[in-house]
A = this chain, B = another copy of it.
Amino acid sequence: MPELRRDPIIGRWVIISSERGKRPSDFATEPEETSSANCPFCVGNEEKTPPEIFTVDQPDVEGRVPNTPGWQVRVVPNKFPALRIEGEMERRGVGMFDMMNGIGAHEVIIETPDHAKRLHQLVPGEIEHVVTAYRQRIVDLTKDPRFRYILVFKNEGRAAGASLAHSHSQLIATPIIPKRVTEELEGSKIYYGWKERCVFCDIIKQELAKGERVICENEKFIALAPFAPRFPFETWLLPKDHRPFFERDNDLTQLASLLGEILKRLAVTLSCPPYNFLIHNSPVNCRGSDLLAYHWHIEIMPKLTKVAGFEWGTGFYINPTRPEDAAKYLREADIS
């Protein structure tokens, strides 16, 4: 059973997941690239994953049998989950420390049946199926009253933490609201309390007026380089209207279109870099008008620099690229 443990100094929780490789020699070598023949995410290999939870099937397929080909997007439980769905949380003290059981959900969203295709190479309609799967899983997992937060994220490329090459995203549901999210919620709330306006909405307005950090936009969404990015070419994608909840956003066609475009721009500009993206959304199963100050968004972080002692020690980040320059490179990328 994995455990959640809380640092007694700054309140940071960590997951102790000893099943995932605990001996020193486990860290010695990187696992080799999976060939498509053995890839558990490839079409035809459905038996290599736990049974599927959700699929978007291909339009020409009728009466598809679960865990067989015919899917376009397929969601399965992570075979090596960081958190487990079964059990009680049992929050408790150990001397001066605090801990609880590692209850949660950890799912994999297989974005395409094709081993060779990256997310940015899918057509907008296919990307829309992926974000639809995100939404459906969030809606479904919200029904579990133990969960307080559901993070959708993607690790693309080995340097960004992907252990399998086949294009996929992940989702982790946690029984507590994570620290990093709490910071954003608190910040949004304080700004709202002061201005009676959403801080993200204000950022979007100012960026649209100035233009220098805007990368691309459509009617409903905008992609921009944030004013104070942690990483070179860090990019945020936000709904232009004030929307606290990703899962209540009905403009998924427009979202898929802009997400595909910004990923293409990053791929062209930086030669298909490894990257992480994550959806910052409001917590689930929480009430309170506070939450209405939040504005969901996607943060995309190409993995170009190394996080080292200074960043770990301070929470400061050293970013070698001005966001205004990054935005210009990305705007000018030829994605035709």
Contacts and interface: CB of A to CB of B under 8 A. Distances in A.
A85 interface: no
Interface string A277-309: 111100000000000000000010100111111
A99 B233 CA distance: 19
B151 A313 contact: yes
Interface stretch (A55-63, A126-134, A153-161, A242-250): A153-161
A263 to B, nearest CB: 14
A180 B318 contact: no
Given A307-B161, A329-B24, A229 B14 contact: yes
A278 B313 contact: yes
A12 interface: yes
Contacts of A162: 308
> Which of A12, A200, A202, A299 has the most chain B CB atoms inside 10 A of its CB?
A12
B22 A325 contact: yes
A151 B320 contact: no
Contact of A317 (B11, B15, B170): B15
B299 A16 contact: no
Contact of A24 (B269, B278, B310, B319): B269
A8 B203 contact: yes
B160 A308 contact: yes
Given A10-B183, A309-B278, A15 B97 contact: no
A187 B5 CA distance: 16
Given A17-B319, A270-B27, A309 B170 contact: yes
Interface residues of A, number: 94
A174 B317 CA distance: 12
A306 B160 contact: yes
Tell me how many chains of this kind the complex includes: 2
A153 B280 CA distance: 31
A321 B280 contact: no
Contact of A309 (B6, B161, B316): B161
A19 B280 CA distance: 31
A187 B17 contact: no
A217 to B, nearest CB: 19
A232 interface: yes
A314 B95 contact: no
> Which of A5, A16, A180, A313 has the most chain B CB atoms inside 10 A of its CB?
A313
A178 interface: yes
Given A154-B309, A172-B310, A309-B160, A12 B315 contact: yes
Contacts of A230: 12, 14
Contacts of A31: none
Contacts of A258: none
Contacts of A199: 8-9
> Which of A22, A178, A309, A325 has the most chain B CB atoms inside 10 A of its CB?
A309
Given A7-B226, A10-B183, 5 more contacts: A8-B199, A14-B317, A153-B312, A160-B308, A161-B308
